[in-house]
Amino acid sequence: MLGSGIQVFVNKNNLDKAVELLQDKIEPNNSELICQNCGSKNIGLGLGKRKAFILFNIFVALLSAIPLGNLKPKYYCKDCKTEIK
């Protein structure tokens, strides 16, 4: 059973790298975004509530080489964690 544990660990690393690549690929054009809740301009790019869904898609894409074209991470305020619409 040791082998299966290592397998999961490796896949987790690949998944983290895939998320990093995805966030690099989608350039955060957030200079004009302002938090509607606290007025902060400290806006980041996040996967929001769809994170599990997106991670699943990344995982499938890694296995089958499907382009990650239709994933849309959301912007969020880094100060108060409010999602930017």
Q: Catalog residues that contact Zn ion under the rule CB under 5 A.
A: 35, 37-38, 40, 77, 79-80, 82
Complex with Zn ion: residue 21 or 38, whichever CB lies closer: 38
In angstroms, give the least distance from the CB of 78 to Zn ion: 8
Contact (Cβ atoms closer than 8 angstroms) between residue 14 and residue 31: no
In angstroms, give the least distance from the CB of 11 to Zn ion: 34
In angstroms, give the least distance from the CB of 54 to Zn ion: 22
Which amino acid is residue 27, in one-letter code? E
Cα dist from 64 to 19, 26, 58, 67, whole Å: 16, 21, 10, 9
